[in-house]
Structure 1
Amino acid sequence: MFELDVSVWEKLIRTALLYAFLIVALRLSGKRLMAQLTTFDFILLLLVSNTVQNGLIGDDNTVSGAIIGAVALFALNAALAYVMFRSPRAQKLVAGDAVVVVRDGKPDEAALRRQRFTHSDLKIALQDAGVPRLKDVKRARLEPNGQLLVHVVEHDGPTRAELFAAVQELNAKVDRLTARLGDGKAGD
């Protein structure tokens, strides 16, 4: 149960190689996978995890081997996060750049295609961002983590904050009037 079937070094090397492979594979798969996990993407991730398991553990099914592999994965992940934090160049290499997918209400078809981001994905992401119409988008940028950042077109008229403040002011006036009516002072 605890006696390793392979050496610790072999287990560490296997873990590091598969970790690097998965980072590259996920990077090449586009930001869509990170933005929305569809049923197909979920199945893919489950199958990939099962497929690489044997390469990761080899013939070793011991508890010690599993702990060594898990510790190695956490250490590699922490080291990569540190390197990416310290080096914008490394972050760009591993995570990629943000990609503008909508400009002035028009989708950038080439950018959407490169990111494997469908019009349906775009519509859902815009609705999640509180923007129901494409024509209201000044610019939408797909970030390396799959999040869509949306900059909306400035319209003439009050902003949401101004409307909210006006509604609060009206509510306060109604509350004062209601209180005065309750005290019999409405005719004053």
Structure 2
Amino acid sequence: MDNVLDASFFVLWRAALSALVIFLLTKLTGPRQITQLTFLDYIMGITIGNLAAEMSVNSDIPWYSPVIAMALYTLISITTAYITDKSIQGRKLLTGIPTLLVFKGKIIEKNLNKNKFDINDLLTQLRIKGYFDLSNVEYAIMETTGDISILPKENYRPTILKDISVPTTQSSLSANVIIDGNIMEANLRNMKKDRKWLDNQVSSRGYKIKDVILMTLDSEDNINIQLKNQNIKDDEDNYFL
């Protein structure tokens, strides 16, 4: 019984100490840790959390060892934040720069690959932002936090139409009929089209299906085709540094 009480007391006081240490260290790093979470911040946060958990339950290590390690990781986080605030090259090296995924309405495939993104990931993020049709998007930018920022084409920028008395019609969903050179047979059937129609639409534009990274079709038969490996000179460093 005494051993159980001793073990419980050990966990309680160490858990309380680790929570206090994390609170103090978080105050030192400031709100940046939460609101501007970079890849490096994410790694530091996970590591500090693991150290705090180890400190709470591992009786084989002295309490001050994890505290020292957590303080060191926090110091690294603060130092890198200072460097990225003061140095453009330091910011590029430590946190990277935003990456253009869509440039003037065209998908930049090499930037998708660089960020371990595929076309489905991009379309998912666009839908989350409220854009169900890629043809409405002028620019899509992956921020260093992993979030996607979108600049729609001029005609699709948000406005309150009732305030300017403009009659509106309900937009319809677009179906992805080709993704990364693969025909989405079910989507094609749902849009009441067949393979022959698809071949004609693609070939009449001078393309081959294997060269298409994305083709969408809406209920009004509007088509948007994005090609693989487009040589788009986005010059992204000049945009974001």
What's the TM-score once normalised by structure 2's chain length? 0.42
Quick one: distance in 2 between partners of 1:104 and 1:76? 39
Q: Measured at CA, do residues 164 and 76 of structure 1 come closer, stay the same or move farther in structure 2, by a change above 3 Å?
A: farther
Q: Counterpart of 2:150 in 1: which secondary structure?
A: strand
Match for residue 94 of structure 2?
94
Quick one: distance in 2 between partners of 1:96 and 1:164? 42
| Count of residues in Structure 1 that have an aligned counterpart in Structure 2 | 119
State the Cα distance separating 1:148 from its structure 2 match: 1.2
Question: In the TM superposition, what whole-angstrom CA distance separates every residue of 1:90-112 from its partner, at most 9, and x where no partner exists?
Answer: 11111112211112333211111
State the Cα distance separating 1:160 from its structure 2 match: 3.6
Match for residue 123 of structure 1?
123
Match for residue 64 of structure 1?
64
On the 8 A contact 1:104/1:135 being kept in 2, the answer is: no
Question: In the TM superposition, what whole-angstrom CA distance separates every residue of 1:32-81 from its partner, at most 9, and x where no partner exists?
Answer: xx8xxxxxxxxxx8xx96xx97xxx9xx7221101111111111111111
Query: Is there any run of 5+ residues in structure 2 with no aligned partner, and where?
Result: 1-9, 11-38, 166-241
Amino acid at match of 1:165: D
Quick one: distance in 2 between partners of 1:76 and 1:103? 35
Question: In the TM superposition, what whole-angstrom CA distance separates every residue of 1:166-188 from its partner, at most 9, and x where no partner exists?
Answer: 48xxxxxxxxxxxxxxxxxxxxx
The 5-angstrom pairing of residues 19-34 of structure 1 reads none
Match for residue 159 of structure 2?
161
Q: Counterpart of 2:75 in 1: which secondary structure?
A: helix
Q: Measured at CA, do residues 67 and 140 of structure 1 come closer, stay the same or move farther in structure 2, by a change above 3 Å?
A: same
Q: Measured at CA, do residues 160 and 83 of structure 1 come closer, stay the same or move farther in structure 2, by a change above 3 Å?
A: closer
Q: Counterpart of 1:101 in 2: which secondary structure?
A: strand
Match for residue 112 of structure 2?
112
Runs of 4+ in 1 over 2 A off after TM superposition: 103-106, 159-162, 164-167
Amino acid at match of 1:75: L
State the Cα distance separating 1:161 from its structure 2 match: 2.8
Q: In proportion to residue count, which structure has more helix?
A: 1
On the 8 A contact 2:80/2:94 being kept in 1, the answer is: no
Query: Is there any run of 5+ residues in structure 1 with no aligned partner, and where?
Result: 2-25, 28-33, 35-44, 168-188
Quick one: distance in 1 between partners of 2:114 and 2:162? 40
Match for residue 14 of structure 1?
none
Quick one: distance in 2 between partners of 1:119 and 1:109? 9
State the Cα distance separating 1:140 from its structure 2 match: 0.9
CA-based RMSD: 3.3
Quick one: distance in 1 between partners of 2:109 and 2:61? 48
Question: In the TM superposition, what whole-angstrom CA distance separates every residue of 1:149-171 from its partner, at most 9, and x where no partner exists?
Answer: 11111128xx643415348xxxx
Identical-pair percentage: 22
Quick one: distance in 2 between partners of 1:63 and 1:136? 56
Match for residue 133 of structure 1?
133
Q: Counterpart of 2:149 in 1: which secondary structure?
A: strand
What's the TM-score once normalised by structure 1's chain length? 0.53
Amino acid at match of 1:64: Y
Higher relative contact order (CA 8 A, sep 6+): 1
